[in-house]
Homo-oligomer: A and B are copies of this chain.
Amino acid sequence: MAATLTEQELDEIYVFAVQLGKDAGKLLLEAAQLRISGSGDQTVQSFTEKDNAVDIVTKTDEDVEQFIKTSILSKYPHHTFLGEESYSKSTTPSSRPYLIPSSGPTWCVDPLDGTVNYTHLFPMFCVSIGFLVDGAPVIGVIYAPLLNQLFTSCKGKGSWLNETQRLPLMRNPVPPMPKNAPQGCIFSCEWGKDRKDKKDGNLHRKVDSFLNMAAEVGGREGKGGMVHGVRSLGSATLDLAYTAMGAFDIWWEGGCWEWDVAAGIAILEEAGGLVTTAKVPMNPDTAEIEPVRLGGRLYLAIRPSGPGEGETGREGQERTVREVWKRVRELDYSRPGA
């Protein structure tokens, strides 16, 4: 079925997806405004008396997903829809097989990424809408309404900020990866939800990895990466968007689901970025750098790169991937069939 999508059809889906992202973001913003007004506002009285902040956010999450799902299936009844809310209710994480059908037009949606930020009204939250053909992300729409930042892409048409600025932002020329990467790089990572204080658990593997990336060169038994900065925003989706923008050089994460990353991968790849696995290979210096497998749950992304001294942009990205592999530990996020 996918093979039958004409360029015109894809264009039409792109226009639809962008408008859907804007509308969904507006719903998120309206619900946030209600929380700012609080119970002093008559219209939300019953809302805030009954529910706490987390209930309200959960309801917004579900309402926005329902809006997106209904909009998509009304217009494209034969497309497949995968959304975070609907899916996480019908399954437990440990029983989730790969979700993406190998063919057919598929939507992969997170109505609200950065839920904790949204609860606290920290602006780093967004709606994320990815559209896949044959299992590969071809359209991405990420909208952070409180930041007024809209990231969009369609395969072959470039990636854009607010529909006017092409990504990456610096492009005349696109800077190469730093010569001694990860030195000079902004490293983006998240603490996540797995906080078990278990020897060799994910929390400690993450902190070991963060420390290796951050420590002085020569430190950490030679693993010190002395990155320029370590950033944690609390939204995997926006981490990917800022990597596409060129603002972050490296994003490394484990545990994401398809809806967290589908749109971000579409936007990053279309901007010229590289996304592969954070699964650490036996020999990081020579292992093949495989294209990302959506659903693999372990991700490593590098920003778009121009050519540097004696290497292409792609070679600079691959060099950076290898340097990260040498410094991070493999996180424990398996899934059935993976």
Interface residues of A (CB under 8 A from B): 35-41, 53, 116-117, 119-123, 147-148, 165, 169-173, 175, 186, 191, 195-197, 203, 207, 210-211, 214-216, 218-220, 224, 226, 228-234, 242, 245-249
Determine the distance from Cα of A203 to Cα of B213 in the docked complex, in whole angstroms: 12
Neighbour of A216 across the interface among B123, B170, B197, B207, CB < 8 A: B197
Cross-chain contact B247 with A122 (CB below 8 angstroms)? yes
CB distance from A9 to the nearest CB of B (A): 33
CB distance from A331 to the nearest CB of B (A): 15
Cross-chain contact A233 with B234 (CB below 8 angstroms)? no
Neighbour of A186 across the interface among B36, B37, B116, B229, CB < 8 A: B116
Neighbour of A214 across the interface among B175, B203, B228, CB < 8 A: B203
Neighbour of A229 across the interface among B116, B165, B197, B228, CB < 8 A: B116
In the A-B complex, list the 6 residue pairs whose CB atoms are closest, starting with the nearest: A197-B219, A38-B172, A40-B172, A122-B247, A191-B230, A197-B215
Q: What is the oligomeric copy number?
A: 2
Determine the distance from Cα of A276 to Cα of B220 in the docked complex, in whole angstroms: 33
CB distance from A238 to the nearest CB of B (A): 11
A sample of 10 inter-chain contacts (CB < 8 A) reads A35-B170, A38-B171, A120-B228, A120-B247, A122-B186, A122-B248, A123-B247, A197-B220, A207-B210, A232-B232
CB distance from A121 to the nearest CB of B (A): 5
CB-based nearest B residue for A218: B197
Cross-chain contact A246 with B120 (CB below 8 angstroms)? yes
Neighbour of A122 across the interface among B41, B117, B210, B242, CB < 8 A: B242
CB-based nearest B residue for A186: B120
Determine the distance from Cα of A92 to Cα of B186 in the docked complex, in whole angstroms: 27
CB-based nearest B residue for A52: B175
Cross-chain contact B232 with A231 (CB below 8 angstroms)? yes
CB-based nearest B residue for A219: B197
Max chain B C-beta neighbours (<10 A), residue from A191, A230, A249: A191
Cross-chain contact A36 with B231 (CB below 8 angstroms)? no
Determine the distance from Cα of A335 to Cα of B219 in the docked complex, in whole angstroms: 26
